[in-house]
Structure 1
Amino acid sequence: MVMMWDAFLSAVQERGEYPSRQEADRATRVVLGLLGAHLVGSVRSELAARLPETCALILLNPLPAAEPLTPQRFVRATAAWIEGATEETAKWDVSAVLSVVVDSADEELTRRVLLQLPPGYDTLFGRL
């Protein structure tokens, strides 16, 4: 069963310890847009199918990435898109969103997502 948008945002808000729903929404949209630009093919569509419709649309309609971003550059890119963010707060934003995303995927799909990304993303997804 696919998590509903409100439940997804509530989970991001709780994990990110955001004082408002708007902050969770902003982080979710930025992180999913960047993630979608780095995933291709069936992996992206399978992950989208497990997310709320709003998340799926963001994930499936990104601007294409010019090059794969290392985890550090992904965090920097997130910081650039979120007004007032620092690399430290952006890392928190990325982890809050991606840990909720991974809760919607099974182990096998998570493994395939991580295989499409440069090494080191597992920690951003809350995996050790």
Structure 2
Amino acid sequence: MTFDQMLERVRYEGAYPTRQRAEEAVHNVLAALGRQVTGDERVDLAQCLPVEAALILTSRIPATEQLTGWGFVKDLAARTGGTPATARWDTGAVLAVAARLAGPDLLARILHRLPDGYALLFGQAELRQRQAA
């Protein structure tokens, strides 16, 4: 998939009125995801994305503390000046496309390494339960 095709797919998924709005969502969400995904999963995800999208993902230094799925949405809203509802919408549109590009095996690995709440953001059911420490 080319970057232009990815943008058109995100535009469709998010029902965005313009390609520019879809590109803004892709940039914001992938940059935020780049702060959360680490290790081999980060490298493998970048390899599945179009080059322009991979550069956005990998241009961010991973955060020292991982956010929950809801924390991710709230942080994205704060960074973009949007509302949590808009940030959630953008996240869903972009990560649904990213999930298809990654495929089920890589997506499972990514979700295993992230805190609770990300499966829903990727358009997947949250099937695992965390064990108490």
User: Which category of TM-score, normalised to the shorter sequence, fits these structures?
Assistant: over 0.9
Larger RCO: 1 or 2 (CA < 8 Å, sep 6+): 1
1:59 aligned partner, one-letter code: L
- Give 1:106 shift: 1.6
Supply the distance in 1 between the matched residues of 2:39 and 2:54 (Cα, whole angstroms): 14
- Structure number with greater Rg is 2
Counterpart in the other structure of 1:15: 13
* Aligned match of 1:89: 86
Q: Distance in 1 between matches of 2:8 and 2:80?
A: 19
In 2, distance between residues paired with 1:78 and 1:26? 12
For 1:64 and 1:104, the matched residues in 2 are separated by: 21
The answer for unaligned runs of 5 or more in structure 2 is 126-133
Q: Which runs of 5+ in 1 are unaligned?
A: none
TM-score, normalising length: structure 2 = 0.89
Mapped pair 1:25 → 2:46? no
Cα distance in 2, alignment partners of residues 78 and 20 from structure 1: 21
Q: Which runs of 4 or more aligned residues in structure 1 lie more than 3 Å from their structure 2 counterparts after TM superposition?
A: none
Could you tell me whether the CA contact under 8 Å between 2:37 and 2:62 is conserved in 1?
no
Percent identity, aligned pairs only? Answer: 43
TM-score of the superposed pair, with normalisation by structure 1: 0.93
